[in-house]
Structure 1
């Protein structure tokens, strides 16, 4: 039996801790400054770690790369908006905003690559697809959030400035310094990964503390959590089935199909939590990240099973 992912355990623990001991008063202000610095550091390191050569070499497979972007930024928002219209009263409006927000996020990088490798898929193509998705997401996610949520204030001059200062500029700085720092970052990959995950946990704690203080658990019952899990699962299943069908329609090889299915169905917690912190006010950020946290766990569990199934299929030569 496979052991649970330590990061998922830590993530659940942080949510529980924030529920029992949320940050208040001056502590919240201090944590706000710290999380802003950590978000900038995370995106700086993303810029440092990005291998431009891998992107350039695999961008030629435009059909696969385009379909991954289509799944992330078109298919997901359409399905989310459809579910919202079909089942508007299944969740409260704040939680629905979180569901629609996760639909606008880019693909995750690390787990997409790891699961593609496990499944025997096109790893180089997955590196390119996940990387491109995250670069595009820095620009496109706030625009999509504004369109999908019909909130003009989401894409305002202030939010543009915040996105540029906290996400885009550090990323560009990391890219500029990448030739100097890439080897150093590669040698310290494990340490940087721990710092990245610790940063995400602190951002989740800060955002969730705001939500707890504002009474998130008085708004959400166990029935609401089950409904949210079902909607997250429905999102994932529809995208998995659709992406698999698209790969067959386009005549992809089995290896490319793995990349499309496993990259196109993912949503990035590492990008999503900082973006929620930048785009949304403190009063709603905690509500917004809850659907993403739950989706992250569902996608890892289900996509791991799918990756194992692809691996067995490749081993049997089918």
Structure 2
């Protein structure tokens, strides 16, 4: 059958016609467009028919697209893989925190001894983001392959600025040094915060493994997640992430850390609500007692 591709938006091109077999998938159509116009690789394409976005993995017949129909094309612009986006985001704090921690005399203009609070906070934050990088490389499977490259800068700001430079500058400063009121913490207090942090990180990792095992490699399969954490909320990974950062906030008592957790939780809350609604819409037998992100509350 013949499908006409109509270019929308800023793409100033005349319509093109593509010949395809009857059982063509959306993936096949995108590859055919790419073959005809090499600039527009599949991840860069957004195809719609009757105002419906064509999803990869489905056939054109499922959208009732017939011979002679016209499919609208929109260029999404240069793309970058989600895996690379996450690697760039988490790399920021991994680079920034050691700079503030080890080059304190150059940054603050004086030399001082780090307090136990500063020392433990440093290693907790480094462990958190190194864990994130390793999970990105070896655990996560992404339902969406790419995102617009321009969004990398916006996404990275949250991590590089808020959890990177802002927290590092205020937490590792001389006002929190050993012997100061800002840096003094009881031994039991520090270890209690570390214990909560470790528990939350292990729990967060466990939920990531559960989510990974739901989706076979190279697929976009969606299933109802069950197991540790998922009995209470749809997104326990976000809940445990919040608990981990809450322990850092309590340990440091830093406004910079509280700012990061508030901004981060707000974004995770929006994501959780969206995922929760999507689960309930897609799966008729989705557990009704689950909340989105906070057990028994929201």
Scaled to the shorter chain, the TM-score interval is under 0.3
Bigger helix share: 1
Higher Cα radius of gyration = 2
TM-score by length of 2: 0.27
Tell which has more relative contact order, 1 or 2 (C-alpha 8 A, sep 6+).
1
